[in-house]
Chains A and B, each alone.
Chain A
Amino acid sequence: MNTNTALQQDRHLSLETRPCSRGFEEFRDVLINDGNISRYSAKCQNANTNNVIGSSIVRSGKTFVITSITGGIVEETLSANNEDDVGEEELITLSEGSNRLAKNASVHPVVEIQRGRVGGPTDEEMITSERLHKTLLHSGILKKTALRVLCGVRRTDENGKTTKIYSDEILEEERKISESNNRRWSYVLYAKIQVFSRNGPIFDLCWNSLISALKSVQLPRAFLDERAADLKIAVRTRGRSMTIRETYDILCDPEKSLPLQLNQHELGYGSNYGIIDIDPLAQLAKEENEMDVDKPTSVLLADIETEAEESSIYSKLSLITNKDGQFKSATIIGGGSKITPEMIKRCISLSKERSKDIESKI
């Protein structure tokens, strides 16, 4: 950063205000809505062609973050860990203690920061995507069971009329039809997160946007065609024969959908802070007044904004918490001013407040 802006910033800070005219511990105002991007949103115009199943728009100051969530279905490979036997439930509870992450799921986020040019992803985009993925995986907000496909069957009767049956909607005796095949599918979610007018650190904004988009996700129901359910094809390759079980198509129901189950009590929202030393030389302007000697020379700034702040602040904190102080992630980087426990405590109480505020807006 050039010396002029640095000095300008120091002068501002010594006058207890920030170049962006906010107070030290004042956050930018946040607006959150679902933007009518999803096919399931109330005012959606193109529900037939739209494959977005959850969305959000977060606006903070000048910055917009738009998240759209799309999905796919994959077959699960069964391993000995999730044995598909009678004792499945017991086994899962047994293995739960030993591997906490095995039950958690995550989404695959792609962060794009729009800056008016094309090209491969920048380091910041890659790092933010990875952090979102990892934080969500470790947080336990999304469980694997929430993404499991409860598969239905489509039947065609003699008259050529088709009906779709879902195992959880039908009577007990019919249930075994759909459970007869022991293959299992689950949804995978992709999140495309676009950032417009980036004006400071984006991780907490992206996180808040991702969470509010996940809250709006509706998973389409999926079914198999009964006629294709047990198809085997004999093949001969290089003198040997075998049967290949056809990878039959699993289809998505265009009408029915279920909301995505999130672990509500695990939700948390992000905020960021910076700690900066005020250059005593910059305070010269105030010298004539009686200077309070015990005034701290390093200050805590909430919600870093503008390039000037971002490039001059080397000590940063980024916290994800709920209003009760249950943390999901904490990142403290101390490249500049000394970080004291008091400052961390102050950040924590601010981030609880902030989290409460954001929660009320979603």
Chain B
Amino acid sequence: MAKDIEISNSESKFILEALKLKQRLDGRACDQFRDVEIELGEAYGDVTVTMGKTKVQCRISCEVAQPYEDRPFEGLFHITTETTPMAGAQFENGNNTGEEEVLISRMIEKAVRRSGALDVEGLCIIAGSKCWSLRADVHFLDCDGGLIDASCIAVMTALLHFKKPDVTVLGEKVTVHPVDEREPVSLGVLHVPVCVTFSFFNPDDTEENIKGEHNGEISIIDASLKEELLRDGVLTVTLNKNREVVQVSKAGGLPMDALSLIDCCHKAYGIVEKITDQIQRAIKQDSIARNQYAHILSSENARES
């Protein structure tokens, strides 16, 4: 069993005292998300997301498979998250049953797959007999907190970036065209959910069951690893650009003020909007870079869009 990271008493006290003064170790404000860096790879569906010292890679791949019997019109979509000691010594190889590992994979599953962000019906080739099986492999390369948020951005960007080979269906016969033969097609992404994680700290040692006027709890956005280890409660909200809440998760921990949930969603929305724009921008730049000769070859008239 790999050992958990332990923070010394003096360090934890220092971090908490600083938080009381609204100061964080990396100099961020309490409600400031780390700058996100999105790097798109050579292959379609290869995305590396860097947030501070957190680094996550996501890779999409697909193959032809048979759909589930009870869902003949839908393709298959799986997300796998595997931790290795590469991300940090607290992770053990081959053990994905740890509390943290399970939580991360469940959250990404809920935010992306269960929210219907991907149009799985678009993966269908022949109803009931052939469909695309899509898999997203999330690799945690470096962990400095915020794995859920970073993974969600990585998976969504990768889905937007990925292109599957074109197919022709003639009766029962399916022909898969290699990428060099026919332009591959993008996936149907219906909306882009983005996760924002809030961490709560209780500055007083005792828990306040009835929170009065002087609510002392501290809430910060996008905690780093050390802050994650010290936090008393956590809330992850997933929103999309349409101001829709996709998923809210607050599993025990420090009870939070009910009304502040709305406040958190408001704060998160600003972040979600910014990140969604950044994702779209990155995708657009990549496609321009890939098709730099397209405008010369195209015979279409320029249109206002």
Contacts and interface: CB of A to CB of B under 8 A. Distances in A.
Contacts of B127: 242, 244
Interface in B175-190: 175-178, 181
Contacts of B181: 80
Interface string A66-98: 000000000001111101100000000000000
B172 A77 contact: no
Given A80-B181, A244-B129, A245-B129, A237 B176 contact: no
A83 B175 contact: yes
Given A242-B127, A244-B127, A244-B129, A84 B173 contact: yes
Contact of A235 (B128, B174, B177): B128
B122 to A, nearest CB: 15
B72 interface: yes
Interface string A229-240: 000000101101
A295 interface: no
Given A235-B72, A237-B72, A242 B128 contact: yes
A159 interface: no
B73 interface: yes
Given A80-B181, A242-B127, A183 B172 contact: yes
Contacts of A80: 175-178, 181
A48 interface: no
A78 B72 contact: no
A3 interface: no
A242 B126 CA distance: 10
A182 interface: yes
Contact of B175 (A79, A238, A242): A79
A119 to B, nearest CB: 15
B73 A78 contact: no
B64 interface: yes
Interface string B251-273: 00000000000000000000000
Contact of B172 (A237, A242, A245): A245
A182 B174 CA distance: 11
Contacts of B177: 80
A88 to B, nearest CB: 13
Nearest to B63: A77
A182 to B, nearest CB: 6
A240 B172 contact: no
A182 B176 contact: no
Q: How many A residues are at the interface, by size bracket?
A: 10 to 19
A78 B72 CA distance: 20
Interface in B54-100: 64, 70-73
Does more than half of chain B's interface fall in helix, strand or loop, or is it mixed? loop
Contacts of B129: 244-245, 247
A182 B178 CA distance: 21
A76 to B, nearest CB: 11
B254 to A, nearest CB: 41
A359 B42 CA distance: 48
A180 to B, nearest CB: 12
A237 B73 contact: yes
Most buried by A among B128, B174, B175, B176: B128
A182 B177 CA distance: 19
A123 to B, nearest CB: 12
Interface in A157-199: 182-183
Of listed B127, B130, B181, residue having the most chain A CB within 10 A: B127
A242 B176 contact: no
B64 A77 contact: yes
A192 to B, nearest CB: 25
A77 B70 CA distance: 22
Nearest to B176: A79
Contacts of A235: 72, 128
A229 B278 CA distance: 54
A78 B174 contact: yes
Contacts of B175: 78-80, 83
Contacts of B174: 77-78
A65 B290 CA distance: 55
A211 to B, nearest CB: 31
B79 to A, nearest CB: 24
Contacts of A182: 172-173
A245 B169 CA distance: 15
A80 B178 CA distance: 8
B97 to A, nearest CB: 16
Nearest to A238: B73
Interface string B118-135: 000000000111100000
A59 B125 CA distance: 51
A80 B180 CA distance: 12
A79 B174 CA distance: 7
Nearest 6 interchain pairs by C-beta? A244-B128, A79-B176, A242-B127, A80-B175, A77-B64, A80-B177
Given A78-B175, A244-B72, A244-B128, 18 more contacts: A77-B64, A77-B174, A78-B174, A79-B176, A80-B175, A80-B181, A84-B173, A182-B172, A182-B173, A235-B128, A237-B73, A240-B73, A242-B72, A242-B127, A242-B128, A244-B127, A244-B129, A245-B172
Interface of A: 77-81, 83-84, 182-183, 235, 237-238, 240, 242, 244-245, 247
26 contacts: A77-B64, A77-B130, A77-B174, A78-B173, A79-B175, A79-B176, A80-B175, A80-B176, A80-B178, A80-B181, A81-B178, A84-B173, A235-B72, A235-B128, A237-B70, A237-B71, A237-B72, A237-B73, A240-B73, A242-B72, A242-B127, A242-B128, A244-B127, A245-B129, A245-B172, A247-B129
